[in-house]
Structure 1
Amino acid sequence: MFGISPLGWVHTLGSLPAIPVAAYMFARHGRIVPRSKPGTVYFVTMLIGAVTAFAVAREPVGNAIAAVTLLTLLAGYGAGRLPSPGRSGRYVETICLSLTAFFLMVRTVTETLRRVPDGHPLVTDPHAPLLIGAQGSLLVALVVGVTAQIIFLRRQTRSTPAAAGGV
């Protein structure tokens, strides 16, 4: 079904929970909160998706996105654990983890449009206007979202100096 191999299903079903978990954290906290139960679920499912992507990617760009996602995921989860000057660790953490959600959604939207409906996908050309528009919309959402997150973090740390270290 949909031309997906058994390993492809492991990749898809393993990383799929990251989408609603990220949506929940964005809605609830305005960002992905790594040191929380949903943050742990997000990390594990993103790790499954990024690692298995190397085995299922058909194009070099898939491997590149998987590598960048993996590095960004590790940087995002590691940034809050390292001693950093001031609040920069929290900014790096927030930006990196937002980028991982963006990479996940770009691949999800792209693969969905190129596979659904089964046998007659909505998009057959990687340069199709529908696909480019969807990816462009995700990029706009990333820029607006990260900008809002940075503004929120700045306001939060200005109003409460102790907030820089907590969730």
Structure 2
Amino acid sequence: CGGVSVGEEDHVKAAVEAEGELQLWKIAIKPGKPLASGRLGEADFIGLPGNPVSGYVTFAVLVRDFLRARMGETVQGWPQTQQLPAAFEWHKPDMKREEFLRVQLREQDGQLVVHRYPNQGSAVLTSCAWADALVRLQPGQRVAPGDLVAVCPL
């Protein structure tokens, strides 16, 4: 369950620090900046962001393979990306953080192309149900139709 925040109302950070240790606090990805990890006694602690899409993306990008590895699985590392052409524009990039856009892969004229969900807000959970992949953009990266983008299948 998500609930970590970066504002005054975040009580998770203080609670974890009182009972254990926080080893990571905030990451430079969007959505998902408020991610926490550390230890509570002998247990690993991971605090996902409270916004639903932020929790979904940080789990997919960072937490899923950590849990698989803790269960003894050999993990190749994620995300394994492929370069595919965009069928969308992205002209408002975050200048400081990597961005993960919810996208769908569709065949068009015999080639896979990437379509983005229209509303990329961190509270729009329908974008996660709709998406079958994430596009990973570097800080400041703009996208025009036809540009190759790094696609991470879900």
Is TM-score (shorter-chain normalized) higher than 0.5?
Answer: no
User: Could you say which structure has the higher helix fraction?
Assistant: 1
- TM-score for both structures, normalised by structure 2: 0.28
User: Could you say which structure has the higher strand fraction?
Assistant: 2
